[in-house]
Chain A
Amino acid sequence: MFPLVPDLISEELNLIVALLLGIAFGFILEQAGFSSSRRLAGLFYGYDFTVLRVFFTAGVTAMCGVLLLDFFGILDTNFIYINPTYLYPAILGGAIMGLGFVIGGYCPGTSVCAAAIGKIDAMVFVAGGLLGVYLFGEGYPLYHDFYTGSFLGNIRIFDSLGMSQGMFALLLIAMAVGAFYFTSKIEQKVNAEAESFTFNKKHHAIAGGSVLALGVALVFMPNHKERILSEVMKSDYIKNHPVKEMTSDELAFRILDKDPRLQIIDLRDTSEFNRMTLPGAVNIQRDQLFQKEFSNILGQSHKKKVFIANSEVDEREAALLSNEIGYENLYVLCDGVHDFVSAILTLQQPASKPKVCEFQVLFAGTNSKPMEQHPDARYIADTERFRAKASGEILTMIKEAKEKPVKKITLVKKVAGGC
């Protein structure tokens, strides 16, 4: 459902939203005391840990919110802006900023806020910031390669560390709460008038305990995608959840008919897809079903989405996953691509063979109702005639589709972000 941008909020309205959120941001920064360079710099000298407290509490709060909303499927984290990681520029940039923080006593956000209440040093800091960006721009060709190098993708920290996101969240919360406790002790030693003397011990202990408990809970809350995956991957799930089936003959008929309400989804990997696929098929692999980029294909509820893969089990898995994600009108191709190839394209199956999805035979046992128990002679003749015609025409369509340039999928725009 969320985020609302860019689907539901126009660019202009988004700017108004930016202004309002900025007002809240600035108001809270000032109320927290971030408009004072003495206070900010205190972080590095142990006399005032306000920055640490506000910064980490804010980070932990927002992180917990993102994880909870993701768990309940309210916020689509595939869609939000994840800062790209350019490893060495990030380290160098951070180091330069750290130096600038101690020398200047502000960071850009806090300097703007401090300038707003009349701090002249903050106004000068902002001017310095503009100068810095200008200098960076003038020297850009010198370090262009460095700046755009060591790109690792829009990676997430829990993947980098090889742990679950919930486990990382718990670690971060534990680190934050531990840091809050010990820095208060330091502050009280260094500064006889430290703010932490005034804190209500009981309330702070309860708050710290609650957020730690939330952290433990987060360990057991996989993200939306993991949750759906683990649900559908349970051994009996596929057996117990029926999926609409389409036989090779029906699919062939719809292809020949150029059915506008047909959308074939090829789940096989890209190399197989490129070698041969059915006319009009789109290549979406299982894990890509979760990506918002493909939602404009999978989300067309008036179209029959037919999943094709090498095995019907793969198709069913994908159909059930898509169903859990919230897509509808989903079909699987009986017995997979090979059945279509042998029945229609290469005409290696006798039309007299009663058409039953193999999956039903394997799992559904005696309850299965074959579509044609005893095909009569006329039916067999019709089927043979149809297949002979379909074989040639579909092979031609496949060949033509291969020669044409691949239709580009119009991807849904990702949110642009960053500084």
Chain B
Amino acid sequence: MKTNYMNPYLAGFFLGLVLLATIVITGRGLGASGALKSTVVAAVTSVAPHHAESSSFFSENLKSLHENPLKTWLVFEVIGVIIGGFLSGVVSDRLSLKIEGGPKVKNSFRLLFALIGGALFGIGAQFGRGCTSGAALSGMAVLSTDGIITMMAIFGMGYAVAYFLRKLWI
């Protein structure tokens, strides 16, 4: 696998510095799934306001997020991730529309599994109050018990099921 990616330890070091800067400046960590939540809350609220009001999840979050759920820290941060990822793609000449998956997986299956995997992550990140970035990585940096538990659960479960799903990737 020839790549022109950055040395992973160096990338990790820089990522750690960005996370540290985030904690030092804002007092909070990085995240990602929270932006998904804000998007869903905003969408449900604008499409079906009555439904959003009667549902405890959407109304509670609407209250806690902001008068405008899209005007939150994580939404702006994730917009930044899109811009930053795109810039990096431009710099390293990796921009292209394509579907990537295991060598033996048909594209339609890959997309179906991406959808299912995404949905599981969406659900799991709600239970876990954060995903790999917000709970596991940022949680580890501030040595929260939650971060370490979530991280072990994510990777532990990953390894536990990897064998049964190996046809997806190898």
Interface residues of A (CB under 8 A from B): 2-6, 9, 14-33, 35-39, 41-45, 47-48, 50, 53-63, 65-66, 69, 75, 77, 79-87, 89-122, 124-138, 140-141, 143-144, 147, 152, 154-160, 165, 168-169, 172, 180, 191, 193-195, 199, 204, 207, 415-419
Contacts and interface: CB of A to CB of B under 8 A. Distances in A.
A137 B45 CA distance: 12
Contacts of A415: 26-28
B interface, by DSSP: helix, strand, loop or mixed? helix
Q: Which among A14, A82, A199 has the greatest number of chain B C-beta atoms within 10 A?
A: A82
Contact of A23 (B87, B136, B143, B150): B87
Interface string B62-81: 00000000010110111111
5 contacts: A15-B71, A33-B11, A86-B146, A117-B88, A158-B143
B9 A204 contact: yes
Interface string B114-150: 1111111111111111111111111111111111111
A115 B98 CA distance: 10
Interface string B4-33: 011111011111111111111111111111
Given A25-B15, A65-B16, A419 B119 contact: no
Contacts of A130: 36, 39-40, 43, 118, 122
B6 A32 contact: yes
Contacts of A115: 82, 85
B73 A131 contact: no
A98 B118 contact: no
B139 to A, nearest CB: 4
A93 B127 contact: yes
Given A23-B80, A120-B97, A418-B31, A35 B89 contact: yes
Given A103-B120, A133-B126, A165 B79 contact: no
Q: How large is the interface on B (under 10, 10 to 19, 20 to 34, 35 or more residues)?
A: 35 or more
A28 B14 contact: yes
3 nearest CB pairs, A to B:
A104-B117, A132-B122, A22-B80
A353 to B, nearest CB: 52
Name the prevailing secondary structure of the A interface residues. Answer: helix
Contacts of B89: 30, 35, 116-118
A191 B95 CA distance: 26
B129 A50 contact: no
Contact of A32 (B5, B74, B151, B152): B5
A58 B16 contact: yes
B12 A32 contact: yes
B135 A61 contact: no
Contacts of B46: none
A22 B18 CA distance: 9
A60 B163 CA distance: 29
B169 A38 contact: yes
B111 A81 contact: no
Contacts of A27: 84-85, 87-88
A101 B114 contact: no
Contacts of B117: 100-106, 125, 128
A107 B127 CA distance: 15
A189 to B, nearest CB: 14
Nearest to A192: B1
A128 B119 CA distance: 4
A90 B88 CA distance: 33
Contacts of A29: 15, 81, 84-85, 88
A62 B170 contact: no
A22 B13 contact: no
Contacts of A47: 170
Contacts of A134: 40, 44, 122
Contacts of B148: 157
Given A24-B18, A59-B141, A98-B158, A30 B129 contact: no
Contacts of A160: 145
A52 to B, nearest CB: 8
A66 B34 CA distance: 23
A144 B137 contact: no
B146 to A, nearest CB: 4
Most buried by A among B56, B114, B140: B114
Q: Which of A3, A108, A117, A169 has the most CB of B within 10 A?
A: A108
Contact of B133 (A18, A53, A109, A195): A109
